[in-house]
Structure 1
Amino acid sequence: MDSISQLPDALLLGILSLLPAKDVMATMVLSKRWQFLWMFVPKLIYDDSYEKIEFERFSRFVYRSLLLHEAPVIETLHFKLGPKSGVVDIGVWTRTAVKRCVRELTIEMDCCSSSTAPVMLPRSLYSGCSILVKLKLKKVVLVDVTSPFSFPSLKKLTLKSVKYPDDEFIQRLLSNCPVLESLYVKQCIDDNVTIFTVKVPSLKSLVLDNLVFRSTDIGSGYVIDAPSLERFTLHDAYEDRFCVIENEMPNIVEAYVDVAYSHPGTILSSITSVKHLTLCITSSEDAYPVGIVFCSLVYLEIWAMETEWSADLNLLMCVLRDSPNLRALKLEQINSVPRQPRSCWREPSSVPECVIWSLETFEWIEYEGAEEEKEVIAFILRNAKCLKKVTISTDSTDPNKKLEMLKALSLLPRRSPTCQLAFD
């Protein structure tokens, strides 16, 4: 311990920042060198499940440590709280965090019971966080605020299973984050939102995740206006919803679109500058708009559903046709239901330009060795002039079946003399 005590304060504070607040405060008894050092630790993590201490003791500990803490700025303050945490306690702690000029604030509630009283954050959160850079909220309630509020320095906002007053509040919240760059939203069943509107000119990264079915989902969805967006993820499992992108997003580099919408085509029309694209579109109706071109696309991943086999392959060929510079292609099958008889795949009348001139790698995940699957691979191998490597993986545990798959694929003709076939 004496050798550690000789280290500079900055290094010791960095080490203490990796520990839970309870352990940090315990170092005060080590020696005079450590007696007051804990008060200046820039990162505090409070977890009421730590060593399963009683909540009353935990609450007193949080009050005391925050009261005695003397760092001029708290870089990171993290509350990870269970259902025993009281609304009053969290309100006081949050107000204390605001007064201590916190830069990164995380409040995570783990309320397993539906009967647990919702945790409402204090109104002071909206008015006193002038230097807050990152805010992460989970399973809390945001109360309505009639007075003006703003987060002038907020760059990263995470909202997981948060309940809001209404749709209009979300628009007000985001419009008062003038430098926001990253937004993650995971909706919950009772969040009081019909249309989640994201209009943020500065936004660069957006994740929208909706996996819960609600009776209000019919006619609900997202409206997006984020012209500076570079990374976009949309995961929405219900077909009665929608996503409207009001303006093109010319800076998109990476996009992940996994939706069950009846009309998802408008989404693809707004991300034509994408370089890395992952698609899982379970509806064939209006799935792909005519006339778009992905000039910058170099990596494409398609998730193929057993129930949508023919539609997914048609989608694949459409994107290949309109992606003249594609270099990497990955096809992954999702066996979410018992296998159904699949319609035969019809080879396109013309070979996509990228298959002939630019495709370098091709990967197939969950390959089963069916004849229609082999036909797709044969089409790629027979036409890809620049192909360097083909990787096939299967979840089959039968070594004889795997050997048969490998032999069958090895006999397929390859246009590229340098193409290597790898089988996992």
Structure 2
Amino acid sequence: MDMISRLSDDLLLKILSSLPTKDVVSTMLLSKRWKFLWTMVPALYFQNDFESSKDDYAKFRQHLRLGWHSTTDDITIWIKIAVARRVRKLKIHCYTDDDDIFLPSCLYTYNNLEVLKLGNSIVLDVPEDVCLPSLKTLHLLCVEFRNEESARRLLSGGCPVLEEFVLDKSENVSPPCFYLEVPSLQRLSILDTYLEGNDSDVKVVIKTPSLRYLNVVDKCDSGLLFLSENMPDMVVANIQHRVEFNQLVHLELCSSVEKWCELLNWMLESSPKLKVLKLNKCKPHRFVYAKHIEYPWGKLSSVPECLLLHLNTFGWNFYNGCREEKKMVAYILRHAKRLKSAKISMWDLDCEDEPHIFTEWRSFHRASKLCQLLSEREPRSNWYES
């Protein structure tokens, strides 16, 4: 560095002229002498790489977060700016108690939008000329349509290349009926847990011949789901529809079939007045052992109403004491507050196993202090009671 500093300014400027401009400018940090030397270089070269880096630039400009105090006018203005800047992904989640947010009309005819995710206080007033030719992903989470016609315009022709659609109707019933007709759609998820203003006339019609993944969760029995088109490419379909057996008080269920735990839990949730529950297996000469599959009895989010308020009799025939069966028995005893009797019949076990099994039952916590535990095997002379 000392040798270079001894050179004349003219020679130094010739050397700097051969270097890239960004390196020339950086020499100003070397010492006081170099601080302004670069300004005397006779030629500076600037290269415009904007075209080659436009994707990175666009990515930078496509992310914007508005504050809590942003008004509906602010949101509308920024949406218009985003459209003018050719945004490709747009996510809007707004929470307002007073004003509904209406999207500007330019958004409904924007050619470059590929992903649109909307949530909460947004009202969709879809114009007749709606056309989103590039939109592939659409998420509508607890938003409202201004009317049924707005839903029809958007979901039946307004998105010709749509591949993924997620609809969450958990906080509203708008629209009460809608028709989804998108030939290109491959993934569809619909969630409806709206419990107020339940209307049996609610109807969802799906016409999506290319559908591969379907997920429908309707926990409020809000209406009817119609699949009006064959779906030959379907890979996974999960449909959870609440059906209540409001008058059911006595239930007997076979526990030697596949996924009987899932069926039992569904029946308990759907039978709020159930008083008697009996689990049976096939007769010995037709015994079918189902594969034991772990079921999260201890981690369920809620306890069925029938266990808390009505179930008073529980019985299990051909109980063999496997881990899954123990977990289920423990779950029922722990939550059945009105239970009066719980009886197991262990006709398929060895005699020496019976006292051990029954001792395990007695060790389980019982929510009902009046619950009486009974054990039975053939011949019936051998009884245990606690």
* Shorter-normalised TM range: 0.5 to 0.7
Taking structure 1 as reference, are residues 376 and 171 closer, same or farther at Cα in structure 2, changes over 3 Å only? farther
Q: Residue 135 of structure 1 is aligned with which of 116, 130, 146?
A: 116
- 8 Å CA contact 1:259–1:282 kept in 2: the answer is no
Q: Determine whether 1:159 maps to 2:90.
A: no
State the secondary structure of the residue aligned to 1:207: strand
Moved more, 211-220 or 338-347: 338-347
Q: Distance in 1 between matches of 2:176 and 2:324?
A: 45
- 8 Å CA contact 2:131–2:158 kept in 1: the answer is yes
Moved more, 87-96 or 337-346: 337-346
Q: Determine whether 1:118 maps to 2:100.
A: yes
- Contiguous gaps of at least 5 residues in structure 2: 1-52, 299-306, 335-355, 365-386
Taking structure 1 as reference, are residues 80 and 88 closer, same or farther at Cα in structure 2, changes over 3 Å only? closer
Deviation at 1:340, TM superposition (A): 4.6
Give the structure 1 partner of residue 195 of structure 2. Answer: 213
- 8 Å CA contact 1:206–1:231 kept in 2: the answer is yes
1:100-249 alignment, distance < 5 Å? 100-111=85-96, 113=97, 116-128=98-110, 130-139=111-120, 140-146=122-128, 148-174=129-155, 175-187=157-169, 190=172, 192-215=174-197, 217-239=199-221, 241-249=223-231
Q: Distance in 1 between matches of 2:190 and 2:198?
A: 18
Q: Distance in 2 between matches of 1:76 and 1:125?
A: 15
What's the RMSD between the two structures over aligned residues?
Answer: 4.6
Taking structure 1 as reference, are residues 252 and 71 closer, same or farther at Cα in structure 2, changes over 3 Å only? same
Give the structure 1 partner of residue 360 of structure 2. Answer: 404
What letter matches 2:93 in structure 1?
Answer: E
TM-score after normalising by structure 2: 0.56
Taking structure 1 as reference, are residues 404 and 163 closer, same or farther at Cα in structure 2, changes over 3 Å only? same
Deviation at 1:157, TM superposition (A): 0.8
Q: Distance in 2 between matches of 1:308 and 1:157?
A: 44
Q: Determine whether 1:71 maps to 2:57.
A: yes
Taking structure 1 as reference, are residues 136 and 101 closer, same or farther at Cα in structure 2, changes over 3 Å only? same
Q: Distance in 1 between matches of 2:292 and 2:272?
A: 30
TM-score after normalising by structure 1: 0.52
Deviation at 1:342, TM superposition (A): 2.4
- 8 Å CA contact 2:126–2:151 kept in 1: the answer is no
Deviation at 1:228, TM superposition (A): 1.9
Taking structure 1 as reference, are residues 135 and 376 closer, same or farther at Cα in structure 2, changes over 3 Å only? farther
| Larger CA Rg, structure 1 vs 2 | 2
Moved more, 224-233 or 245-254: 245-254
What letter matches 1:404 in structure 2?
Answer: E
1:254-273 alignment, distance < 5 Å? 254-260=236-242
Deviation at 1:282, TM superposition (A): 3.9
State the secondary structure of the residue aligned to 2:293: strand
What letter matches 2:360 in structure 1?
Answer: E
Give the structure 1 partner of residue 265 of structure 2. Answer: 333
Q: Distance in 2 between matches of 1:169 and 1:376?
A: 58
What letter matches 1:158 in structure 2?
Answer: H
Give the structure 2 partner of residue 271 of structure 1. Answer: none
Q: Residue 362 of structure 1 is aligned with which of 289, 293, 296?
A: 293
Deviation at 1:134, TM superposition (A): 1.3
- Contiguous gaps of at least 5 residues in structure 1: 1-39, 43-69, 261-280, 286-306, 321-325, 382-388, 409-424
Deviation at 1:108, TM superposition (A): 0.4
- 8 Å CA contact 1:74–1:102 kept in 2: the answer is no
Q: Distance in 1 between matches of 2:204 and 2:198?
A: 14
Alignment: residue pair count: 273
What letter matches 2:138 in structure 1?
Answer: L
Deviation at 1:374, TM superposition (A): 4.9
Taking structure 1 as reference, are residues 339 and 171 closer, same or farther at Cα in structure 2, changes over 3 Å only? closer
Q: Distance in 2 between matches of 1:149 and 1:98?
A: 15
Q: Distance in 2 between matches of 1:348 and 1:284?
A: 28
State the secondary structure of the residue aligned to 2:80: helix
Taking structure 1 as reference, are residues 149 and 95 closer, same or farther at Cα in structure 2, changes over 3 Å only? same
- 8 Å CA contact 2:139–2:166 kept in 1: the answer is yes
Give the structure 1 partner of residue 341 of structure 2. Answer: none
Q: Distance in 2 between matches of 1:203 and 1:376?
A: 48
- 8 Å CA contact 1:162–1:188 kept in 2: the answer is no
What letter matches 1:156 in structure 2?
Answer: T
Taking structure 1 as reference, are residues 366 and 133 closer, same or farther at Cα in structure 2, changes over 3 Å only? same
